[in-house]
Amino acid sequence: MLEDLKQHRRRERPDRQPVHAVGRGPAIELRGLTYAWPDAPDRPVLRDLSVTIPAGSTVLSPFDSVVRATSGNTVSANNRTIDRSYTGFIQLTKTATVSNGTGVGGPTDAVPGAIITYQITYTNISSSNGDANCVKLTASNLVITEDGLVAPNNWGTYTTNSGSPSDNGTGVVATVSATKYTDTVASVAPGVSKIFQFQRVIN
Q: How far apart are CA 166 and CA 177, in angstroms?
A: 15
- Cβ(203)–Cβ(117) below 8 Å: no
Q: What is the dihedral of CA 159, 160, 162, 164, to 10 degrees?
A: 120
Q: Is the pTM of this model over 0.95?
A: no
pLDDT values of the chain reduced to their tens digit, one per residue, 203 residues: 334 444 443 344 334 433 333 445 566 676 777 777 788 888 877 777 666 666 766 555 555 555 666 666 776 666 655 555 555 788 899 999 999 999 999 999 999 999 999 999 999 988 776 666 667 889 999 999 999 999 999 999 999 999 999 999 999 999 999 999 999 999 999 999 999 999 999 99
- CATH, domain range 2-21+89-202: 2.60.40
d(CA 68, CA 26): 26
Burial (CB count within 10 angstroms: exposed 0-12, middle 13-18, buried 19+), residue 35: exposed
Domain limits, the chain: 2-21+89-202, 28-85
Nearest to 156 by CA among 130, 137, 175: 175
